[in-house]
Amino acid sequence: MDAISDDALRKVVLSRSVIVRSDTAPDGFDLLHHLNGTYPRCFGFGWRVGEATFLGASPELLVRSVGGAVSSNPLAGSAPRGEGEEEDRALAEGLMRSPKDRSEHRLVVDDVVSRLGPFVDDLTVPDGPSLKRMATVQHLSTPVHGTLARPSHVLELVEALHPTPAVGGTPRAQATSFIDKVEGFDRGWYAGGIGWVNGSGDGEFAIALRCGLIEGAKAHIFAGAGIVADSDPDDELVETRLKLRPLLELLAAT
């Protein structure tokens, strides 16, 4: 928190990695099949290199560019889901009213809008966030839409946007430098962009979140939380546990 208090950073996203070992090696694509069934509103992905499989179910669209139409869906600011309808609604209302979470969310939206600006016309940005509810956590969400001002390959947009403050921080250079110094592990593919591109330069990329790297009988699972001036360390730790839970529960069941 000292770096943020000293105004060197406005936000930094710090991550943790949990290692799970089992007696038998799970099949990564079997796990992906279960993830897709359990989290149909997410971007399911799997990538196999040798005996290692990188997989996950991400809630966050980095960028989609198809036929000149461009969209992105920044997520930042999170709360747990409630045990029942009443608690769930109260947590959602608290998240929507939270000055800390709305400020954190705005940092991400402003950065995405600024970086898409040189590429698009007619950029539509809602006045305020809505809720995106997943199984264990709910997020503040702002869908952004625009039209390409000139022909641009989707990978140009990915390069301009990544890493957003949803996975890095702001200012970008200071945040990524701070992460390199303090995080203590190599993120690898975690928090990168993953998606598809066609021969016309259209494509869709999600941010690789809610994910893990399966290597034989060992799995590395990743989760992070955005730290701003008003963050509570205990709350941020709970948030990472909620984000780790889908893959942890899936591995425990296999």
pLDDT digit string (tens) for 141-195?
A: 999 999 999 999 999 999 999 999 999 999 999 999 999 999 989 999 999 999 9
Options 60, 104, 204, 239, the catalytic residue: 60
Task: Please say whether the beta carbons of 163 and 172 come within 8 A.
Answer: yes
HSE-up of 162 (CA within 13 Å, CB side)? 20
* Continuous H helices in the chain: 2-5, 28-38, 85-97, 99-116, 154-161, 172-182, 233-253
Q: Is the pLDDT of residue 138 over 70?
A: yes
Query: Domain tally for the chain?
Result: 1
* Arithmetic mean of pLDDT over the chain: 93
pLDDT band at residue 6 using 50, 70 and 90 as cut-offs: low
CB neighbour list of residue 58: distance below 8 Å, 6 or more residues apart: 42, 43, 45, 194, 206, 207, 208, 209, 210, 211
Handedness of CA 167, 169, 204, 194 (dihedral sign): negative
Indicate if the pLDDT at residue 2 is higher than 90.
no
Catalytic site includes residue 218: no
The distance from CA 48 to its chain's CA centroid, rounded to whole angstroms, is 21
d(CA 237, CA 235): 5
The enclosing domain of 59 has a CATH number of 3.60.120.10
Does residue 3 register a pLDDT over 80? no
> Is 40's pLDDT higher than 70?
yes
The predicted pLDDT at position 7 comes to 60
Question: Residue 112 contacts by C-beta under 8 Å, 6 or more apart in sequence?
Answer: 72, 74, 144, 161, 164
From 11, 132, 239, 243, active-site residue: 11
Q: What is the extent of the structural domain holding 14? A: 2-253
- Comparing C-alpha atoms, which of 114, 121, 116, 113 is closest to residue 149? 121
Which range has highest mean pLDDT (6-15, 146-155, 229-238)?
Answer: 146-155
Tell me whether residue 11 is one of the annotated catalytic residues.
Answer: yes
The CA–CA distances, whole Å, from 227 to 137, 196, 231 equal 17, 31, 6
Q: What is the pTM of this model?
A: 0.92
pLDDT at 66 over 90: yes
